[in-house]
Amino acid sequence: MKKILLLLLLITFTVFYAFAKTPSKQVNIIYHTTSPKNIHFYHKNPHGKIFKNFHALDDYISSQNKHLSFAMNGGMYLRSLSPQGLYIENGKIIKEIDITQEAYGNFYMQPNGIFYITKDKKAHVISTKKFKYTNNINYATQSGPMLIINDKIHHKFMPHSKNVHIRNGVGVLPNGDLLFAISSQKINFYNFANFFKQHGCKNALYLDGFVSRIYLPKKGITQQDGLFGIIIGETI
């Protein structure tokens, strides 16, 4: 009898643990992993015109005899479609870092952070306070809040929060590759951050909310609408 009770308890614990480990509470999350070597940031074309959407970027990439295999909006922007915070493209600082500590909106939820790629193709996600500019940075975009900070979910996120939206973000995987993700349904910050944590990201950054889109032809997703300031693209 004791053996039967012990077995039942073991089964119950296993089921509970499996449920607890399930990320995002059944909300479907579309994700893409890639090497930083293939990632580029885009704001304006060579004629100074903002790309705004994946369709325009795809046309431009094709004109360069390359293939756009993935794209995602790359951070928050102002009404002018200029980046809200730090933006570096091809080693050039387009917009200076925003060090505002207290203001309204997700961008200013502290700690916010910066996603950047160095000229030697290494990717990093770091809180804004800890960021240090060097001449080795090739791309950078600032957004907020941080989702994962040093392997911990942002302390302001609550598991049962009713604050739900479509969300997209980026994290660095243990092997140095990048994990890009977007929820196909509304999701709270905690469950979205938990997705990155369970994939092994020690640091991850929220990029944007309901305006978010993804272009991922290999999964049959070719959302070419939207209006973006910055676009992150993978070209092969």
DSSP string, 121-158: S-EEEEEGGG----TTEEEEEEES-EEEETTEE-TT--
Mean pLDDT, residues 85-112 taken together: 94
Looking at the structure of the chain, the number of domains it has is 1
Q: Residue 193: inside a domain, yes or no?
A: yes
Residue 17 CB burial class (10 angstroms; 0-12, 13-18, ≥19): exposed
Rounded CA-CA distance 224/51 in Å is: 12
Q: Residue 130: inside a domain, yes or no?
A: yes
Mean pLDDT, residues 94-122 taken together: 94
Please report the pLDDT score of residue 9 as a whole number. Answer: 39
Tell me: pLDDT of 3 over 60. Answer: no
Reduce the DSSP state of residue 12 to 3 states and report it. Answer: helix
Tell me: pLDDT of 212 over 70. Answer: yes
Tell me which amino acid residue 148 is: I
pTM, to two decimals: 0.87
More confident residue, 87 or 23: 87
Q: Residue 221: inside a domain, yes or no?
A: yes
Tokens 């030697």 label which residue?
A: 120
Tell me: pLDDT of 7 over 60. Answer: no
Mean pLDDT, residues 65-88 taken together: 95
Q: Residue 15: inside a domain, yes or no?
A: no
Please report the pLDDT score of residue 14 as a whole number. Answer: 35
Mean pLDDT, residues 107-131 taken together: 97
Report residue 187 as tokens.
């999701």
Please report the pLDDT score of residue 26 as a whole number. Answer: 56
Please report the pLDDT score of residue 58 as a whole number. Answer: 94
Report residue 181 as tokens.
């993700």
Q: Residue 3: inside a domain, yes or no?
A: no
Q: Tell me the residue range of the domain where 165 lies.
A: 26-235
DSSP string, 184-235: SS-B-HHHHHHHHHHTT-S-EEEEESTT--EEEGGGTEE------S-EEEEE
Q: Residue 137: inside a domain, yes or no?
A: yes
Rounded CA-CA distance 103/167 in Å is: 21
Q: Residue 21: inside a domain, yes or no?
A: no
Q: How many CA atoms lie within 13 A of 190 on its CB side?
A: 11
Q: Residue 1: inside a domain, yes or no?
A: no
